Amino acid sequence: MLITNPINAFELVFPIMEVFHIAGFAVAIGVTAAVDFRILGLVPLQQTPSQLAKSTGFWMLGGLLVAIFSGFELYTSDPDMYYTNWSFLIKMACLIVAIVLNYTIHRKVVQEDGSSGGAKLVACISLLLWGAVIFGGIFIAFIRGGL
Amino acid sequence: MMTFAIWIENTPFFAYVRGSGYEFPTLLALHLVGLAFFGGMILLTDLRLLGWGLRGTTIAGVVNTLRWPKRIGFVWVATCGFILGMSKAEGYFLNTFFQIKMILFVLVLVHALVFRPIVYNHPEELDKTPEIPGRAKLAGALSLFLWLSILTMGRSIGYMNSPAGLHYTELLKSILNLGKG
């Protein structure tokens, strides 16, 4: 028996998933950006970067998981289109690098409460990568060319 | 209102943004980048007011420190949003989700007018009590609800086509062409 993907069977599922996807990313990127801005000295909160990251870690992870699971659902609506779209592929590459960076080098810099040039460089790279994820997501609908 | 919409979306700048290849999506992406960065700061403030995060920092510390970054972020998001909105003003003005989004912005203004004097302008008062006062929690909860609703309505705009809007544009073009003839 053929089982229809709910995202294609019901008209409202895709937009609802998209809202969850964007909200999840907004929360995850928003709190990560706040930590990065704290490292860069642009948001001089009383909390150190490590304290800030610790108190927002739950929201970062929660937002990211919502974004990833809803994103996977969106992907299943038309895998061929997404898989052959350059913008989607760039978004995925940036997302993977951003997540790996976030839980490795970025985490180390944050835990050390670094404010050196190197720490600021990591914060800038983190901001650029998350920004690129958003750009990649938006351009999926505007770029048809791909593999 | 529609006369204004037709006029502004056909001014050279907004017509260029609408008809361009990558300028419109670039502005849209910048709008969302600003929303994520700016929204993160709103979220931190709301979480602190609700007592759900940043408990190690005083409410005054969070509210006062994030005030200016939030304002800068708002100008960024609003500028991109204004250019995007005016470049397709006719269609957006007729779009129910856009109309709801604008009503929500008015409610954000009302929220600011109501809660600034009793919460945001005197956050030090909120740190004096052992429990976070109800008015602060209410301000945080309403802010969270309003901004999440704005995000939802903003995304929903794209799902509603406004054929009537296209009709208006075609009508205007034919009138302009008649004038030239």
| Contact across the interface for B36 and A37, Cβ inside 8 Å | no
| Contact across the interface for A55 and B37, Cβ inside 8 Å | no
Taking the model in full, what pTM does it have?
A: 0.83
Which of residues A126 and B4 earns the better pLDDT score? A126
- What are B119-131's pLDDT values in tens digits? 999 889 888 888 8
The answer for B 133-172 residues in CB contact with A (under 8 A) is 148, 151-152, 155-156, 159
**What single-letter amino acid sits at B37?**
F
Q: Which of B52, B54, B148 to mutate to test the interface with A (most CBs of A within 10 A)?
A: B54
Return the sign of the alpha-carbon dihedral for residues A5, A9, A10, A16: positive
- What are A12-26's pLDDT values in tens digits? 788 888 889 999 999
CB B109 within 8 A of CB B102: no
B50 part of contact set with chain A, CB < 8 Å: no
Burial class (CB in 10 A: 0-12, 13-18, 19+), A55: buried
| Contact across the interface for B43 and A30, Cβ inside 8 Å | yes
CB B77 within 8 A of CB B38: yes
| Contact across the interface for B32 and A22, Cβ inside 8 Å | yes
Q: CA–CA separation, B6 vs B169, rounded Å? A: 7
- What are A29-64's pLDDT values in tens digits? 999 999 999 999 888 777 889 988 888 888 899 999
The per-residue DSSP string of chain A comes to -----HHHHSTTHHHHHHHHHHHHHHHHHHHHHHHHHHHHTSS--SS-HHHHHHHHHHHHHHHHHHHHHHHHHHHHHSHHHHHT-HHHHHHHHHHHHHHHHHTTHHHHHHHTT--SHHHHHHHHHHHHHHHHHHHHHHHTTT-----
**pLDDT at residue A8 above 80?**
no
Q: Which residue has the tokens 């006369």?
A: B3
Instruction: Give me the half-sphere count of Cα atoms (radius 13 Å) on the Cβ side of residue B41.
Output: 28
- CA distance from start to end of chain A: 32
Q: CA–CA separation, A64 vs A31, rounded Å? A: 11
**pLDDT at residue B4 above 50?**
yes
CB A46 within 8 A of CB B64: no
- What are A77-131's pLDDT values in tens digits? 888 888 889 999 999 999 999 999 999 999 999 998 877 888 999 999 999 999 9
In the DSSP assignment, the letter for residue B116 is I
| Contact across the interface for B29 and A138, Cβ inside 8 Å | yes
The H or E element that residue B112 is part of is helix B96-115
Q: CA–CA separation, A1 vs A127, rounded Å? A: 46
Q: From the CB of residue A7, how many other CB atoms can be counted at a distance below 10 Å?
A: 18
A86 part of contact set with chain B, CB < 8 Å: no
The per-residue DSSP string of B137-149 comes to HHHHHHHHHHHHH
Q: CA–CA separation, B177 vs B181, rounded Å? A: 6
Q: CA–CA separation, A67 vs A90, rounded Å? A: 17
| Chain B, nearest residue to A15 by Cα | B156
A4 part of contact set with chain B, CB < 8 Å: no
A147 confidence band (pLDDT: 50, 70, 90) = low
| Chain A, nearest residue to B157 by Cα | A15
